[in-house]
Amino acid sequence: MKVSELMTREVRTVTPDHSLQDAARLMGMIDAGFLPVADDDHLVGTITDRDIAIRAIAEGKGPETRVSEAMTRDVKYCFDDEDVEHVARNMGDIQVRRLPVVDRNKRLVGVLSLGDMAIDNLSADAAETALSGISQPNHRAH
């Protein structure tokens, strides 16, 4: 099964120039803790509720701080035509619960999450594979 068959297509994004308050408000509206950061339709980063808490609030930055100051620039992503099983293994290896999905022109076309895989009975094993890798202790220094 291809990523394009399971991904969420209606993706809300923020720009690097949005404020963290804008990002947090949007996360609340759509009940998500993750947003792709896009410049037009090019993926330039991601921002999570954890990024806002750790990289901004904990450092004394306020709600008007730009997303660009707290976002993750090293974006992990997958392609819409990749096999879900392969992507799930990769998600486990890099310990992420969701990935932006781009087409072969690197235009943002969706997001694939563990939830997307778990909902589909054929992909539940892929979700389990990813979660198994994600759940392993992360040995990076904090």
Q: What does the pLDDT look like over 56-109, one tens digit per residue?
A: 999 999 999 999 999 999 989 999 999 998 998 898 888 888 999 999 998 899
Residue reference for tokens 């904990």? 58
Closest CA to 77 of 127, 37, 39, 30: 37
pTM of the model: 0.78
Q: Give the Cβ contact number of residue 129 at 10 Å.
A: 19
Q: Can you tell me the distance from the alpha carbon of 85 to that of 59, in angstroms, rounded to the nearest whole number?
A: 38
Q: Is 37 helix (H, G, I), strand (E, B) or coil?
A: strand
Contact status, residue 43 vs residue 90, Cβ threshold 8 Å: no
Q: Can you tell me the distance from the alpha carbon of 60 to that of 98, in angstroms, rounded to the nearest whole number?
A: 28
Could you say which of 3.40.50.510, 3.40.50.2300, 3.10.580.10, 2.60.40.10 is the CATH number of the domain covering 3-134? Answer: 3.10.580.10
